Amino acid sequence: MILLKGAFNQEGLFMVLCAKVPRKNAEKVRQMLAQKDALDYSYATHRDAEFVYFALKRECGLPSFSKYGANLAQIPLVQRSVHPASLYDALVEKLSEEELQMLVSSFDILGDIAVIEVPAQLEKKEKLIADAILQVHGNVKVVAKKAGATAGEFRIRPVKIIAGEKRTTTLYRENGCEFELDINSVYFSSRLGTERKRVATLAKNGESVLVLFAGVGPFAIGIARQKPQAKITAIELNPKAFEYMEKNIARNKCKNVKAILGDVRKVLGTEFEKCADRVVMPLPKDAHLFLDAVFPACKKGATVHLYSFGDSKNPYEETERAILQTAKKAGRKVEIMNRRIVRPYSPSTVQVVVDFKAY
């Protein structure tokens, strides 16, 4: 066989000069070829059951790799597009198979900020990964990595910028609403969008709705926009989140939301007796601890949406027990209307919502 850098075969397919390497030695040989600057990244690597085929720029003394069972070959290969279609495509020649397996491919995009989790073993390659995200996702302008756990009363997860523009503020669009926020000073999760839509759909015009633990306002504004005749009060403790909520109420032209800065327990204690037709409690870590303050604010027959964490094997038991026990102490009867898993949280924990009526 005469090996040319690239040639058409009899069927008119473009035949590319490759290193044909047994799968078990593929990574070793790939690294050696990369060191010799012999790999041609404009073609996608091909794999079959036994071999991996790397496109080559030139022959590059491949016989020295024969001890790894590598040979030269010519096969038709797919040309890569200039803009890789996926993070995997963008990194396939830059990370080893093992590193690619480790890469957490699902990450959150909040507005134009991608928030990724970098496994400890990949920390040295985080810039490479972040640059690949910028290349693949044209709408992403900032890549931030999670730099700690969600913590504290304000439920903030610190992030560190690793590529792109140096900012943590963004504009997030959801269900026809817009939210300004700073991911380093407020809590926000794009994963609750479906839940916010569900609650806004259940709310009715004319209702008085209390949104507790309101953050930058996504539940309150979502309900306000969908039900313009509902009257919504949104309570938030974090001054920064409260500031953004006020901006977002104005940005979304909601005349029917009143934002209050303060601790739910103290605010409810003062002026909200038997006033609410609906209460939203999106503080999964601790919301059940506030139920004693919420029952007095509920009209007879009010609906409460309580968010909580549960054991993935028995997701609702503890939450429902807390609801029943606190209701009993408050002299109220409750009826569980609906329960669902909102999202997986960790291997053993899920986030759940329980909807109940308080009589």
Ligand X SMILES: C[S@@+](CC[C@H](N)C(=O)[O-])C[C@H]1O[C@@H](n2cnc3c(N)ncnc32)[C@H](O)[C@@H]1O
CB 31 within 8 A of CB 101: no
| Residues from 102 through 131 that contact ligand X (CB under 6 A) | none
Task: Determine if 283 is a binding residue for ligand X (CB under 6 A).
Answer: yes
Choose, by CB under 6 A, the member of 14, 68, 88, 154 that binds ligand X: 154
> DSSP assignment of 255-302, as one string?
SSEEEEES-HHHHHHHH-TT-EEEEEE--TTTGGGGHHHHGGGEEEEE
| Residues from 45 through 104 that contact ligand X (CB under 6 A) | none
Task: Determine if 311 is a binding residue for ligand X (CB under 6 A).
Answer: no
Could you give the CA distance from residue 180 to residue 216 in angstroms, rounded to a whole number? Answer: 8
Stretch that binds ligand X, among 37-45, 83-91, 153-161, 291-299 (CB under 6 A): 153-161
The least distance separating ligand X from the CB of residue 203, rounded to whole angstroms, comes to: 15
Could you give the CA distance from residue 256 to residue 227 in angstroms, rounded to a whole number? Answer: 9
Closer residue to ligand X in complex, CB, 177/192 = 192
Question: Which residue has the CB atom at the shortest distance from ligand X?
Answer: 215
The least distance separating ligand X from the CB of residue 295, rounded to whole angstroms, comes to: 16
Closer residue to ligand X in complex, CB, 164/310 = 310
Choose, by CB under 6 A, the member of 237, 291, 294, 306 that binds ligand X: 237
Choose, by CB under 6 A, the member of 54, 65, 172, 188 that binds ligand X: 188
DSSP-based three-state secondary structure for 42: coil
Q: Is the alpha carbon torsion for 201, 207, 213, 215 positive or negative?
A: positive
The least distance separating ligand X from the CB of residue 286, rounded to whole angstroms, comes to: 7
Choose, by CB under 6 A, the member of 170, 226, 233, 238 that binds ligand X: 238
Task: Determine if 192 is a binding residue for ligand X (CB under 6 A).
Answer: yes
Closer residue to ligand X in complex, CB, 236/320 = 236
Closer residue to ligand X in complex, CB, 70/267 = 267
Task: Determine if 223 is a binding residue for ligand X (CB under 6 A).
Answer: no
Please identify which residue in the block is written with the tokens 């027990």.
321
Task: Determine if 181 is a binding residue for ligand X (CB under 6 A).
Answer: no
CB half-sphere exposure, 119, CA atoms < 13 A: 11
Among left, alpha and beta (phi > 0; psi -120 to 50; other), residue 75 is beta
Going through the chain in order, the beta strands assigned E by DSSP cover 6-8, 14-22, 46-47, 51-55, 71-76, 108-110, 113-116, 142-146, 159-164, 169-174, 177-182, 208-211, 231-236, 257-261, 276-281, 298-311, 334-346, 349-358
Hey, which residues does 354 pair with through a beta bridge? 306, 339
The least distance separating ligand X from the CB of residue 330, rounded to whole angstroms, comes to: 19
Could you give the CA distance from residue 156 to residue 148 in angstroms, rounded to a whole number? Answer: 9
Closer residue to ligand X in complex, CB, 115/192 = 192
Choose, by CB under 6 A, the member of 263, 292, 341, 357 that binds ligand X: 263
Closer residue to ligand X in complex, CB, 5/343 = 343
CB 210 within 8 A of CB 233: yes
Contacting positions for ligand X (CB under 6 A): 153-155, 187-189, 192, 213-215, 218-219, 235-238, 241, 263-264, 282-283
